[in-house]
Structure 1
Amino acid sequence: MSLDNTQSIVEDSPITSELIQKYEKLFTLTPEKMRSIVDAFVETLKRGLEQYGQVVPMIPAFVFGWPTGEETGDYLALDLGGTNLRVCLVTLSGGGKFDIKQKKYRLTEEQKQMEGSLLFDFCADSLSAFLESAQAEGTIKAGAELPMGFTFSYPCQQDRIDHGILIRWTKGFGNPNVEGFDVTQLFADSLKKHNVPVSLTALVNDTTGALIASHYTNPRTRIGVILGTGCNAAYAERVGNIPKMKDLGIPDDTLMSINCEWGAFDSFEHKHLPRTKYDEIIDLTSNKPHEQAFEKCISGRYLGEIFRLVMKELIDEGVIFLGKDTSKLNEEYCFDTAYLSTMESDMTPELLTIVSVFSQHYKIETTLAERQFFKALANLIGTRSARLASCGMAAIVKKLDILDEGCSIGIDGSLYDMYPGFKERIHEGLTDIFGEKGKNVVTHHAEDGSGLGSAIIAAMTKTRKDKGFFTNL
């Protein structure tokens, strides 16, 4: 949405139509460009299925088939996410029904960088406190050892459901002595240290959990996507289409959940994504340069920072905030992506909500022209994010060859759930890519993958008799 579609810039403003067109050109994705991204994405997905060690690793999750909807019992789920640590008690009642009790613990930036063992000690201690409270309330019996799904939303190489070696941290984490180690063992050591009575049954990526949980309540679901602090996707692939697993002896027609870790698409190569200089600055100043290129253009962690970098450029050029103290905008990541959502939602003639964003958080008075520009810029950045996300979804649909029959995609995360118009922009992107057939692909809010999905996978695992590669068959 350009300013031409909303309000016109007030007269005598340094913000000109030429300036607006500059940013429209930088952040707008044409249908032709989107289709070329999709084609490159499909080839990247195939390479990840063929060989280990690829940039987009296409990690087998060792979750086989779909849930029946009749799983029952009490299960724990612990979710180490990008913003919060969440502990859940999930009661599956059968018939697709469930109940969740949960508690969240905010993660500090210090905790995201502390020694790895201390991070898992914090997880174990939080779980212990949750269990003590649940026992005191009579929700669970004292001393009961419940099966638990551990939702660990970072790329891990798995060779079974209860084991995973961390490939790399994402979402700003950098805890030492975790990459290259089995995270389930690290967590198990902390659970033992804190005498926490649980059975660590399954290691689950939140995107895989979203896929399984969404299929549990909507069997048309074929793809699960996370669009929040980070971004990722999962889907079910026939083992016969995963050449790197051919030596494991799993029947070709078996369905295996694949954790794509698609946030790494176009990392190192930088041939396909239309990266701006702001994307490049974010990449090079991040704790993981040259990694997660796709995620850095899309996810909620980075959109606010892209916006801030544009503002800093315009401040330096003397276009905005003339004579104002802008020192509060010098801090990296000080401009929250939620502010973009707030600005796009402002429908007042004078854009008074945007006035509040800058006056309350940065002590800066704004002109109407500046506020009009900021709303349009937020729209450009948010729309690019949604359209790039639709490219990733379209690539999986094309890889599975299910466009004609159609499917539903379960999506979770703050961008999809809370950013105004994000869902509609995804659908517009799918139509721009596929034409009218793009309407065969619908999206819905994913059921709680890190809680419900993790518990369902723990239940699926618990009910299987085999303990080898066929844990979930």
Structure 2
Amino acid sequence: MSLSAHLVAQDSSWRQRSELAALADLPPQLDSELERLDKEFWVSAEKLKEVVNRFREELDEGLQENGRNIPMNITWVHSLPSGNERGTFLTLDLGGTNLRVCKVTLHGQEPPNPTNSPSPGQKFSLEQEQYKLPDHIKSSTAEELWTHIADKLSTFLSSKGLDKEYTKEKPMPLGFTFSYPATQDAINHAVLQTWTKGFDIKGVEGHDVAAQLREKMAARNLPLELICVINDTVGAMIASAYNDPETIIGAIFGTGCNAAYMSSLSSIAKLSPSDPRLKSSSSSGGKTTGKMAINCEYGAFDNAHAVLPRTAYDAQIDAASPRPGEQSFEKLSAGLYLGEIFRLVLLDLADRGLVFKDRDVGRLRQPYTIDTSFLSQIEDDESAGFAQSRQMCRETLGFDLADGEVELTRRLAELIAVRGARLCACGVAAICTKEGITRGHVAADGSVANKHPKFKRRWARALGEILDWDRREGEEDPIVITSAEDGSGVGCAIIAAMEMERRGRRA
């Protein structure tokens, strides 16, 4: 069943079946194209279940041995937080677009000082600065990347007076959120497996990013001690669990897509029960007990293209990407790519003479001219005559749209966003069915999860279809998305606090 038929199966009009109100009738040829696109982008419940079944297999494969498609990275985060963690930490977050530096103070169960934590009941205080990554950095060298990061750390320490408060002898504890696939032999060690999110920085893959960062911090005499390297999904899970004990999974639905969860040690076959790094875990009858946070890195799911419903536009994106054949799942569902899928469809229709006739489509030919926020704003536009969408298209593409073209862009934005949301439910469903999880909160961070107006509802509907929920009006779903606490900042600080406590130290 297509998206249109699924929404209101009884209605014979595609435009009335859509979630969006119709603006204008489309010419027959364009209407036919929209029907074609509807069928290409719709993912049925049956297809979702097929995807989830294969997803589970790849998750299991990643727990069996290293080097599998979904790496299922061991993080050395041994537990969820107690909620009592305290101390002051610096955190660094290298994301897909920005570099963020935060000073985080954890209050634990102690009521925070109102002067530095104005929100009642908030268990942390945070001061932060965000620095946009220069475009050239994403294809530069390790030397340029870490020099840039060390410069920003130095700037932040100086601006907050922290360079006077801490010394090399008594350094400030630092947590590093590095949201890329990495192999960790310890919590303060991370070897980059492969760049994602459009990055292709030379001299980093196969190297310990913690060691590279430490080298640059030492060269700048920064009074910092790197305590932990974490992934943002693990941070989201830990930060949310600090306040919410019903947290089951940390997820990122933003530039990329990924999830983390607490796995039983006994199911991680690639980790030996006799590993000395597990000394904090218990053993019973020769079987290791306890938990370990697993960073799935499932953006790489189905790189073999066995089950994902790829279109010709998805294949174009993959072929033009810095790493063709990698991150296949991410390229269909993550925020970095949704706007590009939208652009490629519009360009295809324009090149075939179906839209934008007699107008200069030069800007439309530029890759990644349109970002995912463009799609969400179109779907959220309630202005008269969709004036906001028209203005946005004029500013972004450089030409005005006819009524039918406005209608087309709105329908297309819906099709692509719905497919993305439904596919995003598959990773969480695979974890839940694999672990026997039937209730709880999925702590989600990322621009798509928190800024797209309809993502959470569409994601929940798809999850219910996969898990065969008996959804009743007025009742809360057994598994729901919650907005994650600041995983890359607060979550990273909490993990640093947990690790220092494990070492018998306090911040």
Q: Which residue of 2 aligns with 1:463?
A: 501
Q: Which residue of 2 aligns with 1:277?
A: 312
Match of 2:404 among 359, 362, 369: 369
The correspondence of residues 423-442 of structure 1 with structure 2, limited to 5 A, is 423-436=456-469, 439-442=477-480
Q: Which moved more, 1:344-353 or 1:442-451?
A: 344-353
Q: Which residue of 1 aligns with 2:263?
A: 237
The correspondence of residues 174-193 of structure 1 with structure 2, limited to 5 A, is 174-193=200-219
The correspondence of residues 151-190 of structure 1 with structure 2, limited to 5 A, is 151-190=177-216
Q: Which residue of 1 aligns with 2:12?
A: none
Q: Which residue of 1 aligns with 2:249?
A: 223
- Secondary structure of the corresponding residue to residue 457 of structure 1: helix
- In 2, Cα distance between the equivalents of 1:98 and 1:327? 48
- In 2, Cα distance between the equivalents of 1:21 and 1:457? 49
Q: Which residue of 1 aligns with 2:66?
A: 52
2:324 counterpart letter in structure 1: P
Kept after mapping to 1: 8 A contact 2:166/2:172: no
2:360 counterpart letter in structure 1: D
Q: Which residue of 2 aligns with 1:322?
A: 357
Kept after mapping to 2: 8 A contact 1:9/1:372: yes
1:412 counterpart letter in structure 2: D
- In 2, Cα distance between the equivalents of 1:122 and 1:348? 42
- In 1, Cα distance between the equivalents of 2:321 and 2:160? 40
Q: Which residue of 2 aligns with 1:18?
A: 32
CA deviation after TM superposition for structure 1 residue 303, in Å? 0.4
Kept after mapping to 2: 8 A contact 1:351/1:368: no
2:94 counterpart letter in structure 1: L
CA deviation after TM superposition for structure 1 residue 16, in Å? 3.5
- In 1, Cα distance between the equivalents of 2:26 and 2:261? 53
- In 2, Cα distance between the equivalents of 1:378 and 1:401? 35
2:42 counterpart letter in structure 1: T
Task: Please state if 1:38 is matched with 2:65.
Answer: no
1:162 counterpart letter in structure 2: N
CA deviation after TM superposition for structure 1 residue 465, in Å? 2.9
The correspondence of residues 196-345 of structure 1 with structure 2, limited to 5 A, is 196-246=222-272, 247-248=274-275, 250=278, 251=283, 252-267=288-303, 269-345=304-380
Kept after mapping to 2: 8 A contact 1:163/1:183: yes
Give me the TM-score of the superposition, normalised by structure 2: 0.88
Match of 2:125 among 76, 80, 99: 99
CA deviation after TM superposition for structure 1 residue 9, in Å? 6.5
Task: Please state if 1:77 is matched with 2:101.
Answer: no
Kept after mapping to 2: 8 A contact 1:7/1:372: no
- Secondary structure of the corresponding residue to residue 135 of structure 2: coil
- In 1, Cα distance between the equivalents of 2:325 and 2:417? 22
Kept after mapping to 2: 8 A contact 1:351/1:372: no
- In 1, Cα distance between the equivalents of 2:24 and 2:160? 59
Q: Which residue of 2 aligns with 1:418?
A: 451
- In 1, Cα distance between the equivalents of 2:74 and 2:256? 20
CA deviation after TM superposition for structure 1 residue 351, in Å? 1.6
- The number of equivalent residue pairs is 462
- In 1, Cα distance between the equivalents of 2:81 and 2:343? 44
- In 1, Cα distance between the equivalents of 2:410 and 2:503? 56
Give me the TM-score of the superposition, normalised by structure 1: 0.95
CA 1:11–1:172 in 2, change beyond 3 Å: closer, same or farther? closer
- In 2, Cα distance between the equivalents of 1:316 and 1:337? 22
Q: Which residue of 2 aligns with 1:454?
A: 492
CA deviation after TM superposition for structure 1 residue 10, in Å? 3.6
- In 1, Cα distance between the equivalents of 2:271 and 2:26? 65
- In 1, Cα distance between the equivalents of 2:199 and 2:30? 40
Structure 2 gaps of 5+ residues are 5-14, 110-121, 472-476
Kept after mapping to 2: 8 A contact 1:386/1:425: yes
- In 1, Cα distance between the equivalents of 2:26 and 2:488? 52
1:262 counterpart letter in structure 2: Y
Structure 1 gaps of 5+ residues are 468-473
Q: Which residue of 1 aligns with 2:77?
A: 63
CA 1:466–1:46 in 2, change beyond 3 Å: closer, same or farther? farther
- In 2, Cα distance between the equivalents of 1:142 and 1:227? 36
**What's the CA shift string for 1:57-77, capped at 9, x where partnerless?**
000000001111111110010
CA deviation after TM superposition for structure 1 residue 396, in Å? 0.5
Kept after mapping to 1: 8 A contact 2:30/2:354: no
Q: Which moved more, 1:276-285 or 1:349-358?
A: 349-358
CA deviation after TM superposition for structure 1 residue 179, in Å? 0.2
